Each structure stands twice: as C-alpha cells, then as structure tokens.
C-alpha cells in the first residue's frame, strides 16, 4: 500500500512538473507564439531521384553491370580523382570490375602513389602497384581546403552509404546543377537566401549551396565502349561505380541471401511439421 501510494504521488509529481513547466508554456508558445521558421533554403530541397530504368543492382536479384562500372571508373579517373580520394579501394579491387590481372597491373602503373626514394629515403612518388590503394589528391586536409575555397572534398569510398538513398543522391546531385525556380527564389530571397560567390546552387545538396562547381559536361570524356557521354549517362555511371566502391560485396551479399533464406524456409517448414506432429495429442479437439 505504501509503495502504491508513493507511486501515485511521484507519478502525479513528475506529470505536474512536466505539464506545468514544460508542456503548457510550450503549447502556448506553439499556439500563439511566432511560427517556427524553417531555413530559407527549405523551399528548394529535392528528394533523390533514380535515373530512368533504375540501376542494374537494384532489388533482391540485382547484378553489377560491368560495362557501367568500367565507364564509372573512367569518369572517376578523368574527373573526380582530381579532387576526391578513394582511400578504402585498392587497385587490385579493380579485377572485380571485369579487368584481367595484367590490365589491373597496367592500370595501377598509370597512377602515381606516394613512395620513398630507396637511395635517399626522401618522400617521392612512384607508379602504383595492384596492392596500393588509390592515392589522395592532396597531401593533407589543409592543402585540400586551401585549394578548394576552404571546402575539403570528401573521400568518395563510402559516399553512397553515407547519404540517405546514396546511389540516387550521387546521381541526382551530379545531374542537378539547375537554375533555381524563379518563384521560389523570390520567396527565399525575402527570407535572406542567397548563393554566395564561390558556391553553386544545387537543390539536392543538404543546404542547396554546394562548393563543388558543376563537373560534368556533354562529351567531357570518351567512353571506350562508344556510349554517348551525356551528363545523365555519366552521372548514372559514376553513381554505379561509387556504389561498388562503397560496398563491393553488394551482389555477393544478395546472392548469398537467397541461398540462406531458401535453406531456412525449408528447415522452418520441417520444424513446423515436427512441431505439429509432436503436439497433435495435446491440442483441444476442434468443436
């Protein structure tokens, strides 16, 4: 009885503190106070969209499109790698894109990686080997910020997992340098919105003002397989490539999943039958 009485008193006390001091003033403020303001850029924000037809690795049966991954790698090498690293990916991993060992060795050698001069011990660069990881374009973050108007280009290894709906996010962002909608712009400017010099408007970026200038232009690169290098095409290819860099095991994971779940359904079916048989005599007869 004492415990219940104490419980009731404590319960009423906590509720009173919560309601009288926090809830009622908060509710009053919500009802009659000035409305909470969203930041001015909110009107522009867009949700990531998928390219037409989606990606080959979507869905539980998805598979890599190796030609697309190779095109995406070409975009990374010729465009992105000027500013962005790929530090968790090694050249040897490129074999997973369908290149032969010899091709990977030759490809690695086209990259310069940090090394040590064997004679003097001084820091130098040398051609890459398959066991090397992709080099960072800048020696450190200070150098990266200094070269890029104070914004550090992030490493891209995990980019598609580090953003919500990441693959579509990368595609939408690269394909999304558009002029702001004039009506929305007029409204946002009233609330103090601007795109400062050195930043670029992109409604898919978190605060819509992005430090990275538009990078992709039609026919910027020439694909080996003759695909026309349109901006959406290149955006989709690099998004696919970065999905692979973020999770090389993605397709293997889904395929393993089918085996595991098929086995479990079979085993659970057997378990169900044995459960029914064992319990047969113990259940009430249906009336």
Partner 1 sequence: MSFAWAKQYEPKSAFTKWVDEKLPLPRLVYNAVGAGYPVPRNLNYMWNFGVLAGFCLVLQIVTGVILAMHYAANTEVAFGTVEHIMRNVNYGWMMRYAHANGASFFFIVIYLHIFRGLYYSSYKAPREMIWLLGVVIFLLMMATAFMGYVLPWGQMSFWGAKVITGLFGAIPFIGEPLQIWLLGGFAPDNAALNRFFSLHFLLPFVIAGVVILHIWALHIPGSSNPTGVEVKKESDTVPFHPYYTSKDGFGLGVFLILFTFMVFFLPNMLGHPDNYIEANPLSTPALIVPEWYFLPFYAILRAFTADLTIPFTGIVLIEAKLLGVIAMFGSILVWFFLPWLDKSPVRSGHYRPMFKKFFWFGLIPCMALLTYVGGAPAEEPYVLLSQIATAYYFLHFLVILPIVSQIEVPKPLPYSITEAVLGSDDKPGGTDGGGDNPQAVVKPLPGSDPDGSLQPAE
Cβ-based nearer residue to partner 1, 59 or 127: 59
- Shortest distance in whole angstroms from residue 220 CB to partner 1: 28
C-beta closer to partner 1: residue 224 or 253: 253
CB of residue 77 to partner 1, shortest distance in Å: 20
Interface residue list for partner 1 (CB under 8 A): 3-4, 7-8, 10-12, 14-15, 17-19, 21-23, 25-27, 30, 36, 60, 88, 93, 154, 157-158, 161-164, 166, 206, 246-249, 253-254, 256-258, 260-261, 264-265, 267-268, 271-272, 274-275, 278-279, 282-284, 287
Q: How far is the CB of 254 from partner 1 (least distance, A)?
A: 6
Residue (103 or 268) nearer to partner 1, CB: 268
Smallest distance from partner 1 to CB 251, Å = 11
Indicate the residue among 14 and 178 with the shorter CB distance to partner 1.
14
In the complex with partner 1, the residue whose CB is nearer, 166 or 216, is 166
Phi/psi region, residue 227 (left: phi>0; alpha: psi -120 to 50; beta: rest), is beta
In the bound state with partner 1, the residue whose beta carbon lies nearer, of 15 and 189, is: 15
CB of 240 to partner 1, least distance (A): 18
For residues 34 and 197, which CB has a smaller minimum distance to partner 1 in the complex? 34
For every residue of the chain, DSSP letters joined together read: -HHHHHHHHHHHHHHHHIIIIIIHHHHHHHHHSPPPPPPGGGGG-----PPTT--TT-STT----HHHHHHHHHHHHHTGGGT---TT-BGGGGGGGT--HHHHHHHHHTSEEEEE-TTT--EEEEE--TTSBPPPSSSSHHHHHHHTTT-PPPP-TTTTTSSTTHHHHHHHHHT---PPPHHHHHHHHHTT----TT-EE-TTSTTSEESSPP---TTSS--TT-----HHHHHHHHHHHHHHHH-TTHHHHHHHHHHHHHHHHHHHHHHHHHHHHHHTTTSPPP-
Give, rounded to a whole angstrom, the gap between the first and last alpha carbons of the chain. Answer: 45
Provide, rounded to whole angstroms, the least separation between the CB of residue 287 and partner 1. Answer: 8
Q: What are the φ/ψ torsions at residue 23 (nearest 5 degrees)?
A: -70, -50
Smaller CB distance to partner 1: residue 103 or 252?
252
CB of 147 to partner 1, least distance (A): 19
Q: Which residues pair with 125 in a beta bridge?
A: 114
**CB contact set of 54 (below 8 Å; sequence gap of 6+):** none
- Reading the block at residue 269, the tokens are 């079916």
Q: How far is the CB of 231 from partner 1 (least distance, A)?
A: 25
């Amino acid at each position: 009885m004492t415990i219940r009485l104490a419980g009731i008193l404590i319960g009423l006390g906590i509720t009173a503190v919560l309601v009288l001091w926090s809830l009622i003033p908060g509710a009053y403020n919500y009802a009659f106070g000035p409305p909470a303001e969203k930041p001015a850029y909110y009107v522009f924000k867009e949700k990531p969209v998928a390219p037409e037809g989606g990606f080959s690795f979507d869905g539980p049966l998805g598979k890599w499109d190796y030609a697309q991954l190779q095109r995406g790698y070409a975009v990374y090498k010729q465009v992105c790698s000027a500013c962005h690293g790929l530090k968790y990916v090694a050249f040897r991993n490129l074999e997973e894109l369908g290149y032969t060992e010899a091709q990977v060795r030759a490809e690695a050698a086209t990259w310069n990686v940090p090394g040590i001069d064997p004679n003097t011990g001084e820091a130098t660069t040398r051609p890459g080997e398959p066991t090397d990881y992709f080099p960072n374009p800048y020696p450190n973050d200070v150098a990266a910020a200094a070269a890029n108007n104070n914004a550090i280009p992030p490493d891209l290894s995990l980019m598609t997992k580090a953003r919500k709906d990441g693959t579509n996010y990368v595609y939408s962002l690269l394909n999304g340098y558009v002029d702001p909608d004039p009506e929305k712009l007029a409204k946002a400017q009233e609330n103090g919105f601007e795109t400062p010099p050195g930043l670029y408007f992109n409604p898919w970026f978190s605060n819509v003002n992005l430090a990275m200038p538009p990078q992709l232009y039609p026919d910027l690169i020439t694909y080996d397989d003759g695909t026309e290098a349109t901006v959406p095409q290149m955006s989709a290819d690099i998004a696919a490539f970065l999905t692979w860099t973020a999770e090389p095991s993605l397709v293997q994971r889904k395929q393993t999943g089918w085996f595991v779940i098929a086995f479990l359904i079979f085993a659970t079916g057997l378990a169900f039958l044995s459960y029914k048989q064992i319990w047969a005599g113990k259940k009430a007869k249906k009336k």
